[in-house]
Structure 1
Amino acid sequence: MLLPELAEKIVREVRKLIDEEIIVVNTEGVIIASTRQERVGAFHEGALIAAAGKRKLVISEGDTSRLKGVKAGINLPIFFQQEVIGVIGITGNPETVTPFAEILRKMTELLISENYYAEQFDWHSRAMETFVMEWIQSKEISDTLQERARMLGVDLERGRTAVIVEFIGNDPLSRDVWAAIFQSLSKHKNDVAARSGNERVIWLLDGSESGDVKKRLEQFLQFLIVSFGITAAAGVGQQFAARGVYRSYGQAERALKIAQRNGTIVFDKELTLEMISGEISSAVKSEFIERTIGPILLEKELLETMQELFRQNHSLKKSAESLHIHINTLHYRLKKVEDLTGLNPGSIHDLLCLYLAVLFLEE
């Protein structure tokens, strides 16, 4: 429990409060950290007595001749969960250092408690991430997966809706931020949430309690912005039984690709043309772009015109207004697109080709 690395941290933090020699000793009486490096590894009889008796031990100058490895000062047992796990010693005149004794003990125990719960959080996060990654890739619920679910308190009998939340352009998040994120996601006890690297959260919503998924997601994304300045996009799959979570996750990934473009929430059930787009390889998309709008890839003005035309649902009037150009200028540009690409924006077939090409290009 009280490892040398933690003991060294305790010494550094306690030294900020008192300018005296400090040692941390294990329950066997061996010094494992000290402000004086040469004392590390030495035996300290006073600390052994303090640990065994579970009490503070004041060491006077007279005691230094009869107790092995000690100096005048105070030794205080360190408690964690009502058990002694070590001793902190403060060297100096007992009358001088005694007023600091309880404060330093409490500070030390607080540091140990924080470290313990941080380790527990890290362990649980790693275990949950491993479990969820296996779950979303499994087409059957194996005995091993069921056992892991039982250990982590996950109910595999419930239907699930997979959600992937991806953070946009953020530095690695601290443990405290991750803890706050998971606390926010745990409001529904049967939901399951796990990290996926440092940029994503996989959130498997309990199908029986999910309620208004869009509203819950909007609230969560707002929480990220307000609390940590994190912007995010989210893709949402459809609900499946536990053995079908891999399908819901695949849908969420497909929806996320669309959501990433403008930092929104996209539901797979609302996708139409984008469903097909997600199944086409990058190589095919690149070749399609080259065959269709390849001749205008370097014509920034024409590309922006086509993009705005599709954003305005092919309304020439709205497109011209949005581009701040005369309608005749818009007609001229569309004619130029046709001349260069051989595709007529007035033809349904050609228009669809242009739309797909622009869609693939934006991806």
Structure 2
Amino acid sequence: MYQLDAKIAGEIVRRTMKIIGHNINVMNGEGIILGSGDRSRLGQQHQGACEVIAKGKVVTIASHTALDGVKPGINLPLTFQGQIIGVIGITGEPDKLSHYGELLKMTAEMIVEQANLMDQLQWKNRRREEFILQLIKASAGDIPQLVNWARQLELDIHKPRVAAIIEVSSAQDDELKQLIQLLQYPQRDNLVAMTSLSQLVILKPAFLDGKNWSSDAESERIDRLLERLPTPSRRKLNIALGHFFPGDGGIARSYQSARETLAIGQRLRPGQTKYLYQEFESQVLLCELAGSWRGEELSRPYLALMQADKSGQLCKTLDAFIAAGGEPGACARALYIHRNTLRYRLDKISRITGLTPGNLSQLLRLNLAQLLLQSRPQ
């Protein structure tokens, strides 16, 4: 059974006293005053309300019949879903207030109904957010346990989705609310939840055309979202789009890929707002190795080069050589240097690292070392 609380009672008093210039009391199912224009009466038991609850009908108290401590007025039952949940009382002579009674009763019951709907909506939103937070951590083996929960929320747990993360710096509550509304309305079938005070996860339908996953199409949608945001809000956020993984457990992988894309993107390109998995795919795929002995061994040659290369010239040369696919002519042109100068630098790189950039497999080793160091948390 629904129970009145002091917050709802206070709201009823505040709104109904605007209608008439008389004091209003709101009592719960035990006749205790929870809300009143006369705050000194809060917490007291109202005898008229107790009589209303006992009889289940309107009780009027005229001044000539009022007992000590009881004020004249009209007391009406408040009902919700066919049950009396409390009483609303109007202080004053009943014959002067009779035309207000049903209006105030109806207003109060509407406030109760609205509060109940809001409670249900908030409860559903909390359950929905809890479900999303479980889903982004769920392995394939966890999915059967979440199926019933998804059904209660009227969600299709098997719908292909891709994760995106929005991180907001120094955002106000109203800015976060606006952002969530933009992500949810008009209806986009996005599942949105806050993973921290500064981070949102969005589980987006993966197939925009109903058939295929397209990172480029999602990137365009992100651009349109950013355009809809006010410029000050846009400057405060970073957004990362993960990769699409089909099948049960794919959403958790997608979320992990988005999280790692965000971390690596912010580190390597701090001036950007948007980071796509495809732009940092190699670093994301290698980041699990970064803290292992294998990762340390793979990255050792490039790390040695960084430590020996005080000016950064050799690292820049090696990066350009890798970008040119190991083609000396293309690399020399990109750096605006003579091929002999390039050869000299590559020989120096070889002596420091113990690897020969001109050897394809050893160049790959140096490339992996470079990517691993980029993926390593600072």
TM-score w.r.t. structure 1 length?
0.66
The residue identity in structure 2 corresponding to 1:250 is Q
Q: How far did 1:148 drift? A: 1.1
Contact 2:9–2:35 (CA under 8 A) maintained in structure 1: yes
Would the alpha carbon gap of residues 361 and 23 (structure 1) be closer, same or farther in structure 2, given more than 3 Å must change? same
Task: Give the alignment partner of residue 26 of structure 2, picking from 20, 24, 27.
Answer: 24
Match of 2:203 in 1: 203
Match of 2:273 in 1: 263
Would the alpha carbon gap of residues 251 and 356 (structure 1) be closer, same or farther in structure 2, given more than 3 Å must change? closer
CA distance in 2 between counterparts of 1:193 and 1:209 reads 21
CA distance in 2 between counterparts of 1:54 and 1:319 reads 92
Contact 1:11–1:35 (CA under 8 A) maintained in structure 2: no
The residue identity in structure 2 corresponding to 1:202 is I
Is the aligned partner of 1:238 residue 2:240? no
The residue identity in structure 2 corresponding to 1:359 is Q
Q: How far did 1:98 drift? A: 7.7
Identity between Structure 1 and Structure 2 (%) = 23
Of stretches 285-294 and 133-142 in structure 1, the one that deviates more from structure 2 is: 285-294
Match of 2:133 in 1: 133
Contact 1:166–1:233 (CA under 8 A) maintained in structure 2: yes
Determine which structure has more spread, i.e. the larger CA radius of gyration: 2
Is the aligned partner of 1:150 residue 2:165? no
Contact 2:139–2:248 (CA under 8 A) maintained in structure 1: no
Q: What is the SS of the residue equivalent to 1:154? A: coil
Is the aligned partner of 1:273 residue 2:279? no
Match of 1:324 in 2: none
RMSD (Å), alpha carbons? 5.4
Contact 1:71–1:91 (CA under 8 A) maintained in structure 2: yes
CA distance in 2 between counterparts of 1:228 and 1:88 reads 46
Contact 2:264–2:284 (CA under 8 A) maintained in structure 1: no
Match of 2:11 in 1: 10
Is the aligned partner of 1:47 residue 2:49? yes
Q: How far did 1:37 drift? A: 5.4
Contact 1:164–1:234 (CA under 8 A) maintained in structure 2: yes
Contact 1:22–1:91 (CA under 8 A) maintained in structure 2: yes
Match of 1:218 in 2: 223
Match of 1:323 in 2: none
CA distance in 1 between counterparts of 2:288 and 2:24 reads 64
CA distance in 2 between counterparts of 1:216 and 1:82 reads 48
Unaligned segments of structure 1, at least 5 residues: 321-326
CA distance in 2 between counterparts of 1:109 and 1:220 reads 40
Describe the superposition over 1:247-298 as per-residue Cα deviations: whole angstroms up to 9, x where unpaired.
3333333333345452204135x5442234422335878999998569989x
CA distance in 2 between counterparts of 1:220 and 1:100 reads 50
Match of 1:87 in 2: 87
Contact 2:258–2:277 (CA under 8 A) maintained in structure 1: yes
CA distance in 2 between counterparts of 1:172 and 1:210 reads 38
Match of 1:359 in 2: 374
Contact 1:30–1:44 (CA under 8 A) maintained in structure 2: yes
Q: How far did 1:215 drift? A: 3.4
Q: What is the SS of the residue equivalent to 1:134? A: helix
Q: What is the SS of the residue equivalent to 1:252? A: helix
1:303-314 correspondence runs (5 A) = none
CA distance in 1 between counterparts of 2:366 and 2:228 reads 41
The residue identity in structure 2 corresponding to 1:145 is L
TM-score w.r.t. structure 2 length?
0.64
Q: How far did 1:10 drift? A: 1.9
The residue identity in structure 1 corresponding to 2:185 is S
The residue identity in structure 2 corresponding to 1:218 is D
Q: What is the SS of the residue equivalent to 1:238? A: coil
The residue identity in structure 2 corresponding to 1:246 is A
CA distance in 1 between counterparts of 2:368 and 2:252 reads 32
Match of 1:247 in 2: 253
Of stretches 134-143 and 204-213 in structure 1, the one that deviates more from structure 2 is: 204-213
Q: What is the number of equivalent residue pairs in this alignment?
A: 345
